[in-house]
Amino acid sequence: MASRDLETPPEVVKLLEIAWGYWASQVLRQTAEMGLADQFAAGPRDADELAGELGLHGPTFRRFLRTLTGMGILTEVAPRRYALTPMGEALKTGAPGFARSTIIGLIGKLVSPAWENLDYSLKTGEPGFEKHYGKGLFEHIMETPGLPSLFSEIMVGIHGTEPPAVAQAYDFSGIGSLVDVGGASGNMLGHILSRHEGVRGVLYDLPHVVADAPALLGKFGVADRVAVQGGSFFEGVPEGHDAYLMSHIIHDWDEQECATILGHCHRAMKPGGKVLIVEMVLPEGDEPHPGKLLDMMMLCAPGGRERTPSEYEALLAASGFRMTRVVPTPSSVSVVEAVRA
The residues that are catalytic are: 251
- Interhelix angle for 10-33 vs 58-70, to 10°? 120
Integer Cα distance of 14 and 12 in angstroms? 5
Amino acid identity, position 254: D
What does DSSP say about strands 226-230 and 81-84: parallel, antiparallel, or unpaired?
Answer: unpaired
Beta bridge partners of 325: 337
Query: How far apart, in Å, are the Cα atoms of 249 and each of 9, 135, 176, 184, 234?
Result: 42, 19, 22, 11, 11
Q: Among candidates 275, 218, 211, 196, which has minimal Cα distance to 241?
A: 275
Integer Cα distance of 84 and 198 in angstroms? 45
Integer Cα distance of 301 and 108 in angstroms? 13
Where residue 79 falls (left for φ over 0; alpha for ψ -120 to 50; beta otherwise) is beta
Integer Cα distance of 273 and 265 in angstroms? 9
CB 307 within 8 A of CB 281: yes
- Non-local CB neighbours of 66 within 8 Å, separated by 6+ positions: 76
Integer Cα distance of 245 and 204 in angstroms? 10
CB 326 within 8 A of CB 309: yes
Amino acid identity, position 156: V
